[in-house]
């Protein structure tokens, strides 16, 4: 790990690096009153960053990337921990902190409400473009490929990455705790937030001025093992896929119901490696061993350009011929700005 002396000193002395303060948008799926997100918010602000939370009004775990906006302009029930009463607007701020917003929608919906309403209307100097998006830390880990369709923590993050904002998803091995119950710095929410902070600060500190924290379309997934202090466990470069768990439908004869169980032995499909470094350990394995996993992903879901991919296209070759030989006849040629890979390292949302 590359840590400058200045960074090490700053961390050791707990000094705020005001000059390197960036604009950070936060979200989660556990709700805007969660101890984990509130503690990370506190630490990031303490380090001199501008931080805004726009997070679900209530617990929204398991929503994946669903974008579900409320159909009621006012809350039909109180928010999490009764912070806001029923009848108040469905979008609003914490009574004690006007930079902490709730919205009564899914995590991905909160990301969009933040980018398209809260920031433009209330934070014009942000120009709608946070330098970094953080989701979590979640209560409970988000490990392996199968949770990526299920995890609201990741769904909120994918939404931001798709909108050209570098995104980091953070998940911890701890349990739901109201921010009101965080009364000292020796509790699992503060520990998870502190470890998250130490990881996130590396990405911020090792990014040059006016450089993006991550390339366009890139995200980072961080998972934290059970903690007994704020000390940083070993941090390991990992793969999202590989050594991951996959569900199967377990039928219970007595109840006549299905539940999910982890498939044993592990499925071959999720262990197939086409992208990234196939020699890296899987995040499930690393977190199980007590390490912090750091996986780098992109939201380019296309298969890499390898012979297998060609073989798959070949099977439907006769169909493609009708449209001009498979590579497009001009009508459907990819637009340059959508295909540029290395050239398009940074960018903003493109408007037609």
Ligand X SMILES: *[C@@H]1O[C@H](CO)[C@@H](O)[C@H](O)[C@H]1NC(C)=O
Query: Can you tell me the distance from the alpha carbon of 304 to that of 309, in angstroms, rounded to the nearest whole number?
Result: 7
Q: Which is nearer to ligand X, 74 or 149 (CB)?
A: 74
Half-sphere exposure (CA, 13 Å, Cβ side) for 229?
A: 3
Q: Does 228 bind ligand X (CB under 6 A)?
A: no
Q: Which is nearer to ligand X, 269 or 324 (CB)?
A: 324
Site string for ligand X, 240-269 (x = CB under 6 A): ------------x-xx--------------
Stretch that binds ligand X, among 12-20, 116-124, 206-214, 325-333 (CB under 6 A): 325-333
Three-state DSSP at 61 gives coil
Tell the smallest beta-carbon distance from residue 255 to ligand X (Å).
4
Tell the smallest beta-carbon distance from residue 88 to ligand X (Å).
6
Q: Does 187 bind ligand X (CB under 6 A)?
A: yes
Q: Which is nearer to ligand X, 323 or 346 (CB)?
A: 323
Give me the catalytic one of 90, 171, 173, 196.
171
**Phi, psi at 220, each rounded to 5°:** -125, 135
Number of residues that bind ligand X (CB under 6 A): 21
Q: Does 127 bind ligand X (CB under 6 A)?
A: no
Q: Residues 45 to 104: which contact ligand X by CB under 6 A?
A: 73-74, 83, 87-89, 95-96
Binding ligand X (rule: CB under 6 A), the pick from 68, 324, 339, 341 is 324
Binding ligand X (rule: CB under 6 A), the pick from 186, 211, 229, 339 is 186
Tell the smallest beta-carbon distance from residue 254 to ligand X (Å).
4
Q: Per the structure block, which two tokens stand in for 16? A: 């705020």
Tell the smallest beta-carbon distance from residue 92 to ligand X (Å).
9
Catalytic, 98? Answer: no
User: DSSP for 241-290?
Assistant: SSS---EEEEEETTTTEEEEEE-SSPPSGGG---SS-TTSPBHHHHHHTT
Three-state DSSP at 99 gives strand
Q: Per the structure block, which two tokens stand in for 205? A: 């500190």
Residue 325 has what DSSP assignment?
S
Q: Does 323 bind ligand X (CB under 6 A)?
A: yes
Tell the smallest beta-carbon distance from residue 180 to ligand X (Å).
6
Site string for ligand X, 146-185 (x = CB under 6 A): -----------------------------------x-xx-
Tell the smallest beta-carbon distance from residue 102 to ligand X (Å).
11
Distances (CA, A) of 100 to 241, 242, 332: 34, 37, 44
Q: Are 7 and 113 in contact (CB under 8 A)?
A: no
Three-state DSSP at 298 gives strand
Q: Which is nearer to ligand X, 87 or 289 (CB)?
A: 87
Cis amide bond preceding 174, omega within 30:
no
User: DSSP for 124-191?
Assistant: GGGTT--SEEEEEEEES---SGGGGGT-HHHHHHHHHHHTT--EEEEEES----BGGG--SS-SHHHH
Query: Can you tell me the distance from the alpha carbon of 95 to that of 133, in angstroms, rounded to the nearest whole number?
Result: 23
Stretch that binds ligand X, among 9-17, 268-276, 282-290, 323-331 (CB under 6 A): 323-331
Query: Can you tell me the distance from the alpha carbon of 266 to that of 276, in angstroms, rounded to the nearest whole number?
Result: 20
Q: Which residues are catalytic?
A: 171
User: Which spans of this chain sit near ligand X (rule: CB under 6 A)?
Assistant: 73-74, 83, 87-89, 95-96, 181, 183-184, 186-187, 252, 254-255, 323-324, 329-331
């Amino acid at each position: 790990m590359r840590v400058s002396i200045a960074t090490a000193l700053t961390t050791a002395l707990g000094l705020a690096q005001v000059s390197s303060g960036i604009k950070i948008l936060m979200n989660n799926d556990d709700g805007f009153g969660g101890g984990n997100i509130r503690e990370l918010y506190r630490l990031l602000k303490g380090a001199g960053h501008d931080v805004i939370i726009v997070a679900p009004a209530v617990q929204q775990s398991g929503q994946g990337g669903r974008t579900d906006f409320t159909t009621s302009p006012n809350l039909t029930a109180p928010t999490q921990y009764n912070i806001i009463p029923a009848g108040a607007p469905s979008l609003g701020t914490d009574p004690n902190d006007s930079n902490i917003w709730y919205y009564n929608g899914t995590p991905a919906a909160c990301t969009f409400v933040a980018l398209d309403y809260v920031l433009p209307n209330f934070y014009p100097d942000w120009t709608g473009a946070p330098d970094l998006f953080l989701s979590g830390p979640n209560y409970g880990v988000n490990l392996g490929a199968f949770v990526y369709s299920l995890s609201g923590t990741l769904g909120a993050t994918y939404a931001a990455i798709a909108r050209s904002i570098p995104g980091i998803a953070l998940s911890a091995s701890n349990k739901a705790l109201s921010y009101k119950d965080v009364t000292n710095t020796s509790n699992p929410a503060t520990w998870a937030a502190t470890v998250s902070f130490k990881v996130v600060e590396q990405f911020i500190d090792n990014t040059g001025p006016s450089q993006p924290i991550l390339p366009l379309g890139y995200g980072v997934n961080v998972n934290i093992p059970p903690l007994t202090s704020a000390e940083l466990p070993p941090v390991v470069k990992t793969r999202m896929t590989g050594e991951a768990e996959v569900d199967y439908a377990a039928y219970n004869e007595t109840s006549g119901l299905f539940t999910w169980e982890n498939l044993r032995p592990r499925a071959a499909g999720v262990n197939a490696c086409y992208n990234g470094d196939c020699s890296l350990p899987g995040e499930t394995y690393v977190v199980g061993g007590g390490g912090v996993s750091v996986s780098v992903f992109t939201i380019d879901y296309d298969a890499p350009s390898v012979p297998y991919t060609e073989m798959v296209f070949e099977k439907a070759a006769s169909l493609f011929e009708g449209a001009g030989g498979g590579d497009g006849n001009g009508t459907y040629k990819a637009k340059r700005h959508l295909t540029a890979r290395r050239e398009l390292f940074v960018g903003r949302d493109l408007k037609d």
